[in-house]
Amino acid sequence: MFKYKSLVFLLVMIGLTACKSTPTEDDGSENLAITPIATSEQTITDSTSEPEAPVASTADTSSEYETNQNEYSVQPGEFNLYPREVNGWDESGWSIITPSEDSRLIYVSSSLGDDETAEFYAPRDIADVEDPGLIKPFKTIEAAHANTREGYPDWILLHRGDVWEVHEKIQLNTGRSSTERSVITSYGSGEQRPMIKSDANETFRIWSYRRYIAITGLAFYAYKRDPLSENFSGWGQVSESTAIRLYSPENSVMGTVLLENNDFNFFSKGVSINGGGDVLDVVIRRNTIRNSYSESSHSQGIYAIHASVLLEENIFDHNGWYKKQVGTGNEKDEGQGTMFNHNTYFAKSFKTKFIRNIFLRSSSIHNKWTASSDLDSNIDSIKSHDLLMEDNVYVGGEIGISAGGNRDYDTGPRWKDITIINNVMLAIGRDQPTNRTLGWNIDANDWDGGLICGNYILHNDNSMVTNLYGIRLDGHSNDVVISKNTIHGLISPNPNSRVGAISVDADTKTNIRISGNNIQLVDSNMRVLIADQIDSVVFEENKYFSDLDSAEWFHSRGVSYDIDTWRPVSGDTNSTIGKDSFLEPKRTFETYLSSIGLAQSIDDFMEQAVNQSKDNWNPDFTAQAVLAYIRQAYGDMTCTH
């Protein structure tokens, strides 16, 4: 077998790059001060390539990215689902990634490897990339990485079942193109992912202008941050740690990164995408992101700013907190839940899609979106646009989707073209991680164009949660449709709270349509509608029921109405009232677990879901299966966009 001898050259490139981090505390980041760094990169004599030129970056709705052979030509919202459109996927929907003729296959085994005698291989010399037979692997990831080349589709393959400790960040190299990426993945028999136990501030870094990278089939574990680990640092000594960080400096564009089939556990952030430039074509699919928390800053499952991301078929659980808030504030000691921590936090985003994910037990919000107006402008402008949340499942936490924060001068829209369709929300408010009594399902504020349609908002089951609503539309919103949503089982026990299943505030709006919704509030003291702005709202073909006194079902500007007095005030002439008979009145996430033979426990579900992989795939642990189970009981109503 032809083998390449291991070549390791140390080249110290002192590239002091003055960078600054643009996220502010308002954006939910920890306000990192990025100090100039010296980049030390390993090079091989036959792999020298010229750095690509920087690209001007804009993230507004009229973005134009000039293209030539030296520039990054991917457009915002273009997702190169490598290699869905090249080689196709396997029968279970996993990416099929193959090396190029000149790729280096660099195998690594902590149990069998030796950095002194290791060799790397050409694809033509390996019959099966994942089962290479007799090889000489490296022992450490660092030594293997030293043999990769900038601008080449080189592969690092970690042996399944092996474990490595990483104490310093590893800065990844650029691949050649969207179809010839640099790859870090796994090899060998068995279903257990190779595990990277990290106590580094960042485990993998994808720095400015790096692109064309795939990271698949790995387990990332911040082992010194796990309170149940024998290696736990101890409360008050827990350091911040991010598993994968993408950083794009101002006036730059980078991206085309695939993260698939990975597990991220006990970091302060599983994935962080930040900097002042744009990050495009980030595909994050079929990963588990769980148990993030912080004692000193804000913590998210994923944080992103100025990014265009496809988030597809992932499972998020218990991100932003280790334990419930002890008091009524936002104390961070011992990883307490705070209002600043979420499953996902996306700021100033554009052309981004969340599709078929499962979001469980967030510290506060499952999907927090911000469109903060410029600090020195004193006027609102569009800061986030073209966002899609479709076919996702949300369970517990405090708030389902919030597309409304943060800095708002109350002068106009800050969002454009937002679509929230065909999602299922269950027991929002149940967990009370921050000790608040919130149960907000969908919060929309300052939208210029949007659709909230075909969502199932179901069953809060915590009687302490009194600040409760299904859908709320606020601010300077225009051209928004709220249609075909099913709101059922929101139990407001306090007759004095008088919150609404659907609410519209008094700010100026134009062309709002609320139609075809089915609001069923059995055993609830909740109003069906609160609309303090009705002149620009069309109500039609809704179905209403509440066990609240019928004289208080509808409310506008301090006045309550029954259906007969509501009709002439609102123009809601063809909506109906009546109690619906669902196939099964209380299907929940827990009853779904029973239906697939599990205990009614999210912990048990996660234990099984984390072990899902390319070689051990069970559709029962997907959002599609949960959605089908819930929809079957409540009318199976969905929307298109």
The dihedral through the CA atoms of 595, 609, 282, 200 has a sign that is positive
Per-residue pLDDT tens digits for 431-451:
999 999 999 999 999 999 999
b/e for 342-374, b at 16 or more Cβ within 10 A?
A: bbbbbbbbbbbbbbbbbbbbbbbbbbbbbbbbe
Residue 31 in this model has a pLDDT that exceeds 60:
no
Half-sphere exposure of 522 (CA within 13 A, CB side): 12
**Residue 571 CB: number of other CB atoms within 10 A?**
14
User: Before 406, cis peptide (omega within 30)?
Assistant: yes
pLDDT at 402: 97
pLDDT, average across residues 281-303: 97
Q: Tell me the C-alpha distance between 338 and 331, whole Å.
A: 7
Residues 476/415, Cβ–Cβ less than 8 Å: no
User: CA triplet 234, 236, 240: central angle to 5 degrees?
Assistant: 90
Q: Tell me the C-alpha distance between 519 and 469, whole Å.
A: 12
Residues 284/82, Cβ–Cβ less than 8 Å: no
Q: Tell me the C-alpha distance between 595 and 397, whole Å.
A: 23
Per-residue pLDDT tens digits for 209-251:
899 999 999 999 999 999 999 999 999 999 999 999 999 999 8
Per-residue pLDDT tens digits for 78-131:
998 765 555 556 778 899 899 999 999 999 999 999 999 999 999 999 999 999
Residue 25 in this model has a pLDDT that exceeds 90:
no
pLDDT tier for residue 499 given thresholds of 50, 70 and 90? confident
Residue 193 in this model has a pLDDT that exceeds 60:
yes
Select from 117, 97, 119 the least CA-distant residue to 1: 119
Residue 260 in this model has a pLDDT that exceeds 50:
yes
Per-residue pLDDT tens digits for 46-69:
222 322 322 323 333 333 333 333
pLDDT, average across residues 524-530: 94
Query: What is the average pLDDT value for the chain, to the nearest integer?
Result: 88
pLDDT at 565: 97
Residues 470/438, Cβ–Cβ less than 8 Å: no
pLDDT tier for residue 631 given thresholds of 50, 70 and 90? very high
pLDDT, average across residues 609-620: 89
Residue 15 in this model has a pLDDT that exceeds 60:
no
Query: Of residues 372 and 89, which shows the higher confidence score?
Result: 372
Residue 207 in this model has a pLDDT that exceeds 50:
yes
Q: Is 38 left (phi over 0), alpha (psi -120 to 50) or beta?
A: beta
b/e for 82-107, b at 16 or more Cβ within 10 A?
A: bbeeeeeeeeeebbebebbeebbbbb
Residue 37 in this model has a pLDDT that exceeds 80:
no
**Taking the model in full, what pTM does it have?**
0.89
